[in-house]
């Protein structure tokens, strides 16, 4: 009998099911609670099938991290596509990143581990995929910064370049979310409100410090538009989790 052929779509779906099972375990038991044996017991596939997709627990964690980065990429591209000036686009990027974390804080915890020895034990395929996604995410931000420079909305000093600006804005958002997320977990409603205030405010501190020109648009109006138009689906999903952002 000829071996059964499984097309790529079916393989991708199966891999997605495995990752969903892993995420469910992590949601209940934390990252340390995930083992390959527990995952086999959770999913409807054999251990051999699991190892055909993932070489180790660390490989599964890397797969989850990379899948989330693809989702973040989608949000970033939507933010970058709005017809506003470059600074407003960068504000939308920060807002989009905050939404991604609120929607799946477990994935954010995985990203926090992405550069550790744990992640280094993942397969070469996953690590290369991670690096490529990392580069693409920074590429979206870099293109916005280059747009601002071209349009003279941002003039950089001799000791500052676009890559440094990308890193600074990313680091501010990442650090703000990482520091505040755990402290606000006791009240999910306050989590969204606190992060929204701080992510936007700290992003403005960085951009003001760079002398990045604003569009002159009132920011509350701009954020209300992002929520009601660009990211309305994400806001609805958050509300289903009991997390509410300000309407305006």
Question: The CATH number of 57-240 is which of 3.30.1180.20, 3.40.50.300, 1.10.357.10, 3.20.20.140?
Answer: 1.10.357.10
Res 191 pLDDT > 80 = no
pLDDT computed for residue 147 by the predictor: 95
> Among 58, 71, 190, which residue's Cα sits nearest to residue 127?
58
CATH for 1-54 is 1.10.10.60
**Sequence-separated contacts (24+) of 99-102 with Cβ below 8 Å:** 99/75, 99/231, 99/234, 99/235, 99/238, 100/68, 100/71, 100/72, 100/75, 101/177, 101/181, 101/195, 102/191, 102/192, 102/195, 102/238, 102/243
List the structure tokens of 247. 């309407």
pLDDT computed for residue 187 by the predictor: 47
pLDDT computed for residue 195 by the predictor: 84
Query: pLDDT of 175-189, one tens digit each?
Result: 898 888 765 554 455
Average pLDDT over all residues of the chain: 88
pLDDT computed for residue 142 by the predictor: 94
User: Which residue spans of the chain are classified as CATH 1.10.10.60?
Assistant: 1-54
pLDDT computed for residue 145 by the predictor: 96
Query: pLDDT of 78-101, one tens digit each?
Result: 999 999 899 999 999 999 999 999
Query: pLDDT of 14-58, one tens digit each?
Result: 999 999 999 999 989 988 899 999 999 999 899 999 999 999 999
Separation CA 224–CA 204 (nearest Å): 17
Res 212 pLDDT > 50 = yes
pTM (two decimals): 0.88
Query: pLDDT of 95-128, one tens digit each?
Result: 999 999 999 888 888 877 766 666 788 999 999 9
Separation CA 118–CA 61 (nearest Å): 9
> How many CA atoms lie less than 13 Å away from 169 in the CB half-sphere?
30
| Cβ atoms of 170 and 109 closer than 8 Å | no
Res 140 pLDDT > 60 = yes
User: Which residue spans of the chain are classified as CATH 1.10.357.10?
Assistant: 57-240
């Amino acid at each position: 009998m000829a071996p059964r052929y499984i097309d790529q779509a079916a393989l991708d779906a199966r891999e997605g099911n495995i990752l969903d099972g892993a995420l469910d375990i992590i949601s209940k038991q934390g990252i340390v609670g995930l083992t390959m044996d527990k995952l086999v017991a959770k999913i409807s596939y054999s251990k051999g099938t699991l190892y055909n997709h993932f070489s180790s627990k660390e490989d599964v964690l890397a797969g989850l991290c990379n899948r989330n980065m693809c989702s973040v990429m989608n949000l970033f591209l939507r933010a970058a596509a709005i017809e506003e000036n470059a600074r407003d686009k960068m504000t939308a990027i920060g807002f989009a990143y905050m939404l991604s974390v609120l929607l799946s804080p477990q994935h954010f915890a995985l990203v926090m581990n992405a550069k550790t020895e744990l992640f280094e034990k993942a397969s070469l395929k996953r690590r290369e995929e991670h690096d490529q996604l990392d580069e693409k995410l920074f590429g979206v931000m870099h293109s916005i910064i280059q747009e601002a420079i071209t349009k003279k909305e941002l003039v950089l000093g001799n000791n500052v370049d676009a890559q440094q600006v990308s890193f600074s804005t990313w680091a501010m958002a990442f650090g703000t979310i990482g520091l505040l997320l755990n402290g606000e977990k006791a009240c999910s409603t306050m989590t969204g409100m606190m992060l929204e205030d701080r992510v936007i405010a700290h992003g403005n501190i960085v951009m003001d410090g760079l002398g990045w020109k604003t569009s002159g648009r009132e920011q509350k109006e701009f954020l209300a538009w992002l929520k009601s138009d660009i990211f309305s689906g994400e806001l609805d999903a958050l509300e289903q989790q009991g997390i509410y952002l300000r309407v305006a």
